[in-house]
Amino acid sequence: MKPILLRTFCIAAIALFISQDMQAQRYRGHYRHYGYGPYRGQRVVHIAGPRTIIPYGGIHFHYSSGYYYRPYGGYFRVVAPPIGIHINILPRGYRRVYVRDVPYYYYGGTYYRSGPSNDYEVIDAPLGASVPELPNGAKVVVINDQKYYELDGTYYKEEIKDNDEIWYTVAGKDGKINTDEEYTEDGPIIGDIVDELPADCRTVTVNGNKYYVSPDDVYYEEVAGPNNTTRYKVAGK
């Protein structure tokens, strides 16, 4: 082989090796850290890709590729979706996670559960849910000498799996760290749907919406069930 051809071959091989190594680093970064999606609070002028407008609470949220945007004049801000908002199809790349044998769906810091109309409802982060990557924008905080990662009031703690992989488990939410080893939560969870109301519920109206309040101050609202039946969803505690 001529020297000039040998040099060309070596340069091409080195370039290929560097490219593959960079791709591997990006791959590891995507699954171990924050990924490439937008981060909460980021301002954007244009939303790339197809989007769906979802009215909720008087605001027209824009949904695209698993992320939610709120319009502010001439720009959009990436926001956490409100609890209770629904989408028809889960975003590509979502993960199914189980907490106490209950399936949930996770993508980009947002958790879903199956809705009553063959759709998916945004829920609060379930305690004990474990995911292999942190959501974009999570920040390190130290509480009682323990390191956590926090995003929008949800706290993640590193957990080492049997194969030595580091995953991230929801250890707190609503700005509070859960200290129970079993990640238990008393009573029904917001988003739960039941066939019957508890005994002795009273009726209240909040912002024009009717709720049923149980003796232990759990708020239920009517939702449509299969075959024109009525069910009740936990809307607040």
**Token match 């409802």: residue?**
121
- What's 226's DSSP letter? G
The size of the chain, in residues, is: 237
How many Cβ atoms are within 10 Å of 64's Cβ, its own excluded? 16
Between 28-32, 155-159, 178-182, 203-207, the lowest mean confidence (pLDDT) is in 28-32
pLDDT digits (tens, 9 = 90+) for 20-63: 433 333 333 333 444 567 889 999 999 988 999 999 989 999 99
Rounding to the nearest 10 degrees, give the CA dihedral for residues 178, 29, 135, 75. Answer: 160
Q: What is the pTM of this model?
A: 0.63
Contact 62, 51 (CB under 8 A): yes
**Token match 């593959």: residue?**
20
26 phi-psi bin (left φ>0, alpha ψ -120 to 50, beta other): alpha
pLDDT digits (tens, 9 = 90+) for 182-197: 444 556 776 778 888 9
Contact 171, 155 (CB under 8 A): yes
**How far apart (Å, rounded) are the C-alpha atoms in residues 60 and 122?**
16
**For the chain, domain boundaries:** 81-177, 193-236
Between 32-46, 133-147, 157-171, the lowest mean confidence (pLDDT) is in 32-46
Contact 96, 103 (CB under 8 A): yes
Question: What is the b/e burial string over 72-107, where b = at least 16 CB atoms within 10 angstroms of the residue's CB?
Answer: eeeebebbbbeebbebeebbeebeebebeeeebbbb
**Alpha-carbon 11 to chain mean position:** 44
pLDDT at 102 over 80: yes
- Tokens coding 194: 């039941």
pLDDT value at position 161? 86
pLDDT value at position 64? 94
**How far apart (Å, rounded) are the C-alpha atoms in residues 18 and 194?**
56
Question: What is the b/e burial string over 32-55, where b = at least 16 CB atoms within 10 angstroms of the residue's CB?
Answer: eebbebbbbeeeeeebeeebeebe
